[in-house]
């Protein structure tokens, strides 16, 4: 798709523009519905791992649809990478499916969100709970050196319906092994979860259930408790709701009035 530039009627005046034009430089499919893509990155754009950007795609008439997506790439990369699920009937998804290398993507200048390590009080173990494309911000966090130095243990739990949806699986293992070879900093314990089919070497129930029945803590060999554990959650609203209640019952709290807490959530909706 060679999208036309947005018209003056659909975007703010250039002098007050809050967006930049970037270009698609690479994209690939994990499945027909699950896509990763990279765009150029303006040198002036900075972000903290875990945050998200608002991206816009214009149609032939210049009408723009905006959606939020977490950065998957590292904060030091000279490109920006995103993980997207294509939703049947979704206008943004329709335009995303047509994107080609060289096409224009609009991007608001600031980054957003609170799924960052500075939202958490110091601890020993960092638990990262993701469903679907909620994995994105944790990839960016794991590509940064801060969590490896700040924690003794990192636990990544990624839940999907089907095994083919386990995006970045090899990347996660490579990151884990590279740090293990160095022998400095935290260790990473990665637990893929597949809920709709049997898959070897994965867990097979929703994340809250795996916590409630003790299977996840048993597999990790680490207790999920508010004294030394910190938790980050990114995924669908149902997961966020259930995890907030579950963690709160275990003594976890979000940050308040500048005081870091024991859990942090991302909410796009």
CATH number, domain of 89, equals 2.40.30.10
The b-or-e profile of 129-156 (16+ CB within 10 A means b, else e) is bbbbbbbbbbbbbbbbeebbebbebbbb
- 168 shares a domain with 41: no
Domain that holds residue 76: 14-108
Residue 113 in tokens: 């969100």
Inter-residue contact 232 to 264 (CB < 8 Å): yes
pLDDT tens by residue, the chain, 269 residues: 444 444 444 545 444 489 999 999 999 999 999 999 999 999 999 999 999 999 999 988 889 999 999 999 999 999 999 999 999 999 999 999 999 999 999 999 999 999 999 999 999 999 999 999 999 999 999 999 999 999 999 999 999 999 999 999 999 999 999 999 988 799 999 999 999 998 999 999 999 999 999 999 999 999 999 999 999 999 999 999 999 999 999 999 999 887 899 999 987 65
Domain presence at residue 6: no
The DSSP call for residue 134 is G
Residues 6+ apart with CB under 8 A from 51: 70, 71, 111, 112, 113, 115, 116, 137
* pTM for this entry: 0.92
Terminal CA-to-CA distance of the chain, rounded, Å?
28
- 74 shares a domain with 126: no
């Amino acid at each position: 798709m060679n999208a036309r530039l947005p018209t003056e009627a659909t975007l703010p005046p250039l002098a007050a523009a809050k967006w930049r034009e970037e270009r698609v430089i690479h994209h690939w499919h994990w499945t027909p519905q699950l896509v990763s893509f990279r765009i150029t990155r303006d040198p002036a754009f900075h972000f903290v791992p875990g945050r998200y950007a608002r991206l816009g795609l214009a149609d032939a008439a210049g009408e723009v649809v905006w959606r939020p997506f977490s950065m998957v790439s590292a904060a030091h990369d000279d490109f920006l990478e995103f993980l997207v699920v294509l939703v049947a009937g979704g206008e943004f998804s329709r335009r995303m499916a047509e994107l080609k290398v060289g096409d224009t993507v609009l991007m608001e200048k600031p980054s957003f969100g609170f799924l960052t390590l500075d939202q958490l009080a110091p601890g020993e173990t960092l638990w990262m709970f993701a469903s679907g494309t909620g994995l994105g911000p944790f990839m960016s966090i794991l590509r940064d050196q801060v969590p490896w130095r700040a924690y003794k243990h990192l636990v990544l739990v990624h839940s999907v319906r089907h095994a083919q949806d386990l995006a970045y699986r090899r990347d996660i293992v490579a990151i884990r092994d590279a740090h293990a070879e160095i022998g400095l900093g935290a260790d990473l314990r990665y637990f893929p979860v597949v809920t709709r089919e049997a898959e070897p070497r994965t867990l097979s129930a929703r994340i809250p259930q795996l916590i409630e029945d003790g299977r996840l803590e048993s597999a990790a060999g680490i207790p999920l408790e508010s004294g030394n554990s910190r938790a980050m959650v990114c995924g669908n609203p149902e997961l966020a709701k259930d995890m907030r209640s579950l963690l709160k019952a275990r003594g976890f709290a979000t940050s308040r009035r500048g005081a870091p807490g024991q859990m942090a959530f991302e909410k796009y909706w």
